[in-house]
């Protein structure tokens, strides 16, 4: 039986923080991008999650409510339009990895953060072409709050209107419409950038789906929660081997 994790108290306090300068992402950040016009209407109602759960752990409404973070007001998630299995929750660990490991299961659209005592914190994710293109073991080398996005040259060739966001022009500045959302985690293997990213997204309707582009996307409320739990150097495993069980 899944247990719902409490919202982290520190998140509610962020509403009183002043906007700080977000670290500019490297050119390699361009590997991830937004979908080309997400279909909100297709995210039909899939059943309302519980209005409340074990009192010690809060509830989904609180977890996914509107929050002000680093000066940006992130909208609440419409819970009736997101499958409850893709919402943040504690589950029995299916990975067998050591605590502190991030595991992305691309076959089931789940990201696990392994905990002690045979448990894992599970989040729903969306995957783009880049999200399926790489697998293996690596480390989360570093992370950024409200990163800058720079589309790759090949994307600009297809969509010339994105030239204004090129690395030459400084990229797209942080914000609610930035494809990388509120946070980005950068994955390196053997000290080399894999161009693989775990990042936030304003497109909540893409969670649990394969979308047109991007790496591993999470709801902004979830990526903030994950960011606060994992230090630089955390191990990561990306695999399609866990299945849907």
Which amino acids are annotated catalytic? 199, 215
**In a 10 Å sphere around its CB, with 0-12 CB exposed, 13-18 middle and 19+ buried, how is residue 45 labelled?**
exposed
Q: What is the DSSP string of 171-227?
A: -BPSSTT-TTTTEEEEEEETTEEEEEEEEEES-GGGTTSB-SS-SEEEEHHHHHHHH
Q: Which two tokens stand for residue 156?
A: 């600009």
Terminal Cα distance for the chain, rounded: 14
Three-state DSSP class for residue 144: strand
Q: Which two tokens stand for residue 23?
A: 């670290």
Q: Would you report the helix, strand and coil content of the chain in percent, each value rounded to 5?
A: 25, 30, 45
Three-state DSSP class for residue 224: helix
């Amino acid at each position: 039986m899944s247990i719902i994790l409490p919202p982290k108290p520190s998140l509610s306090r962020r509403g009183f923080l002043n906007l700080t300068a977000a670290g500019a992402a490297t050119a390699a950040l361009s590997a991830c991008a937004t979908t080309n016009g997400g279909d909100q209407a297709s995210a039909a109602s899939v059943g309302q999650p519980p209005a409340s759960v074990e009192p010690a752990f809060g509830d989904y409404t609180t977890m996914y409510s509107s929050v002000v973070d680093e000066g940006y007001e992130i909208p609440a998630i419409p819970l009736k339009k997101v499958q409850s299995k893709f919402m943040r929750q504690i589950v029995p660990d299916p990975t067998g990895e050591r605590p502190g490991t991030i595991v992305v299961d691309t076959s089931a659209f789940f990201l696990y953060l392994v905990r002690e005592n045979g448990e894992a914190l599970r989040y729903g994710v969306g995957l783009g072409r880049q999200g399926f293109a790489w697998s293996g073991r690596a480390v989360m080398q570093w992370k950024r709050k409200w990163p800058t996005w720079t589309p790759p040259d090949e994307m600009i060739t297809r969509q010339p209107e994105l030239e204004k966001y090129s690395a030459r022009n400084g990229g797209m500045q942080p914000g609610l419409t930035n494809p990388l959302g509120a946070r980005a985690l950068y994955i390196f293997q053997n000290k080399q950038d894999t161009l693989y990213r775990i990042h936030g997204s304003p497109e909540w309707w893409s969670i649990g789906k394969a979308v047109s582009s991007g790496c591993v996307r999470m709801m902004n409320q979830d990526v903030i929660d994950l960011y606060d739990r994992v230090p630089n150097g955390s191990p990561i495993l990306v695999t399609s081997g866990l299945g849907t069980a």
